[in-house]
Amino acid sequence: MPKLAKGTLFGHVHDFLKIYLPKQRRMSVNTIVSYQKALELLFDFVKDSNALKLNEITFDMLTADTVSAFLDSLETQRGCSISTRNNRLAAIKAFIAYAAAMDIMIAAVQIELDKVPKKKTEEISAVRYMTEAAVSAILAVPDASKEKGLRDRCLMILMYDTGARVQEVIDIKLRDFRFGKTPTATLLGKGGKVRTVPLMEKTVAHLKEYISSFHSEPMQNSDEHLFYSVIHGRRNPLSNDCIGKFIKRYGAAAKENCAEVPDNVHPHLFRHSRAMHLYQHGMDLTLVSQWLGHANLETTLVYAHADTEHKRKAIANATAKNDPLFGKLNPARFTIDDEESLKRLYGLK
């Protein structure tokens, strides 16, 4: 493979991802993957929009208009949240800042991209989640008599039961499970934070069935990834895109039989759904926050807000429009933004 020329766009990309982030900044693998994904998506967008080859992209093509159009496409075409959009923008700006520090000629690009603002989000934004019936309908789609169906079903069950992020499921290894009296899975989260979550008996049964079919090596101390694909005779961890594609496909198939299945089902919906169901069944919000591995309780408030809004809509649907109560069922009355409610959610009351 030819060496990348120093000072070129992709020369800087290589040094940013392979040297600067891991060796100088000592960032976690998952953080680096997030930066890598943001740049990959951006370059694919520029390439496709201009009918170019990847190696034909240059710094001067990374204009404010181009990056803004790319960020808009994340929301409209890929269904990404505003938070994800802003994270992608932050990664792009971090790379450009690095490149500008290496080459003063790129400073003009950095100034250009400073024009692109973060998109404002509500303090507590709505969260999408699936009903328990929708989750069950999706899990019933894979044909477990076939290897891929068995793998895909087990992956989705594990993702739902643990509330894991998709990268946490990709990274999980055989040694991360304990199937004793209290079965658990250990997950490596954002920023290298480790958390251990309990597993339901049914999940353990599915895991054992899957492991017996896909793994012959002992589990204890094994660095083998739980889920993998075989390419040219070698095991490789599943990719984020691979998981996203088959989950979307299973979601579309399940929707034909269950109207509660939402459009465009994606991996993170399983995490949101599990957290929402635990909260609705009485788990304290502080415990939900710890279980999800959230750094701050504020992040978990979306579930309280979504549940309150869900109840408001249910009451509204059950109340006749000519009923005097109907006019009082406005969203503002149920929005969690007053200090007393927040204090209770924070555990201060």
Q: What is the pLDDT of residues 172-223, one digit of tens each?
A: 999 999 998 899 999 988 777 888 888 999 999 999 999 999 998 888 788 9
Element (H, E) at 141: none
- Average of pLDDT values for 244-262? 95
Residue of 35, 277, 303, 305 with catalytic role = 303
- 53 noted as active-site residue: no
Which of 147, 137, 148, 154 lies closest to 265, judged by CA? Answer: 137
Amino acid (one-letter) located at 193 = K
pLDDT at 313: 47
Element (H, E) at 343: helix 339-346
4 pLDDT above the threshold of 80 = no
- Average of pLDDT values for 239-263? 94
Residue of 14, 190, 310, 312 with catalytic role = 190
- 274 noted as active-site residue: no
Selection from 118-132, 203-217, 299-313 with the highest mean pLDDT: 203-217
The CATH number corresponding to 132-279 among 1.10.3720.10, 1.10.443.10, 3.40.50.300, 1.10.10.10 equals: 1.10.443.10
Q: Which residue reads 């700006």 in tokens?
A: 93
Contact 338, 346 (CB under 8 A): no
pLDDT at 77: 87
Q: How confident is the model at residue 65 (pLDDT cuts 50, 70, 90)?
A: very high
| β-strand pairing of 177-178 with 184-188 | antiparallel
Residue of 151, 268, 274, 305 with catalytic role = 268
* Distance (Å, whole) CA 206 – CA 159: 12
Tokens read off for 197: 């979550």
- 249 noted as active-site residue: no
- 294 noted as active-site residue: yes
- 165 noted as active-site residue: yes
pLDDT at 255: 95
Residue of 12, 88, 165, 266 with catalytic role = 165
Contacts 24+ apart (CB under 8 A), 225-229: 225/170, 225/171, 225/172, 225/173, 226/169, 226/172, 226/173, 226/174, 226/176, 226/177, 227/151, 227/154, 227/155, 227/169, 227/170, 227/172
Pairwise pLDDT comparison (7 vs 175), residue with the higher score: 175
pLDDT at 219: 82
- 303 noted as active-site residue: yes
- Average of pLDDT values for 112-131? 77
